[in-house]
Amino acid sequence: MGATVKHRSRVARDPMQPNLRQVHLIHAELFNELLTKGFAVSPGFMGENITTRGIDLLGLPRGARLWLGDEAVVEVTGLRNPCTQLDGLQPGLMEAVLLRDPSRGLVRKAGVMGVVVVGGIVGDGDLIRIELPAGDREALKPV
C-alpha cells in the first residue's frame, strides 16, 4: 500500500520511487503446474493477494485494468520478480516459477503486480473484467 515503495531492497535504492507493487495476482493454473513438479502450493501461499482462473495474467499489457467484483479496480504494472524467499517456503520453488524461452530469455511465471485505482471489497468467485489500454500496448517487465 502507499504511493512509494515498501520493499526493503527497493527502499534502500530509492525510497521515493513509486510503489508499483501494491497488489500481487497469481493465476491458479500455476498451482496445477507446480503440483506436477512436486510443489504443494495453494492460494495465498506465495504472498499473492488475488488468485485468478482463466485469465492470461502474464500476457496482459502494462496498464491493463482489472475490474474485480462490483467496485475494485487494479491496474497491472508489471511482472512479479520472484526472489529467494520462495525457497524458504519450499526448496526449489523459486526455480520452478522461472524458465528459459527458446532464445534463453528468462520467463517469470510468479504472477503480476498492480496498483489500486479504486478500492473495494473483493470476494471469492467475483467476476473479473479486463480493460486493455488504448494505443500501443507495452509488454510486462519485472517491477
Residue 36 lies in a domain: yes
If we measure between CA atoms, which residue out of 43, 27, 21 comes closest to residue 128? 27
pTM, 2 dp: 0.91
Domain contains 96: yes
In a domain, 139, yes or no: no
Q: Is residue 66 part of a domain?
A: no
**Mean pLDDT confidence for 16-20:** 86
Residue of higher predicted confidence among 45 and 15: 45
Asked if residues 77 and 20 have their Cβ atoms less than 8 Å apart, the reply is yes
Give CA–CA dist 30/24, Å, rounded: 14
Whole-angstrom distance, CA of residue 38 vs CA of residue 40? 7
- pLDDT tens figures, 45-83: 999 999 999 999 999 999 999 999 999 999 999 999 998
Is 135 a domain residue? no
- Residue 1, pLDDT above cutoff 90: no
Asked if the structure places residue 27 within a domain, the reply is: yes
- Structural domain count, the chain: 1
Locate 10 and state its grid cell. Answer: 527497493
- Is residue 10 scored above 90 in pLDDT? no
How far apart are the C-alpha atoms of 119 and 141, rounded to whole Å?
A: 24
Indicate whether 113 pLDDT > 80: yes
Average pLDDT, the chain: 93
Q: Is 41 within a domain?
A: yes
Domain around 82: 8-60+78-116
